[in-house]
Amino acid sequence: MFKFVVKKLRWLARIPVLPQLFDAGLMIATMLFDRPRLRAMETFENAVRRKYTIQRRPHRFGGVGFFIGTTEIGHLHGNGLLDLFVGKSFR
């Protein structure tokens, strides 16, 4: 379902608050049906906070964003999908 929404319904991200509501739904589904993934998400967030000087803030499209200063280095979706930004040389 997530892939379908990202590919076919991307335009919905322009509607205020809708991305956050969708991500909240993903988080609720993860809490109800995939507890091990939820624990892994919490473990990852705690490890990042302890080891690095990274700020954790709400992401503009829902989920949790990880920032160094004002630069976003990645974000974690409510279903556990982690998007990290890497340099062009690593792509």
Query: What are the DSSP calls for 2-16, one per residue?
Result: HHHHHHHSGGGGGST
Higher per-residue confidence, 2 vs 62: 62
pTM, whole model, 2 decimals?
0.78
Q: What are phi and psi of 85, to 5 degrees?
A: -90, 130
- Say how far apart CA 75 and CA 62 lie, in whole Å: 9
pLDDT tens per residue, range 20-48? 999 999 999 999 999 999 999 999 999 98
CA distance 55 to 77: 16
Domain spans of the chain, in order of start: 18-65
H/E segment holding residue 22: helix 18-33
pLDDT of residue 61: 84
Work out the average pLDDT over 63-79. 92
Residue 89 has pLDDT above 70, yes or no: no
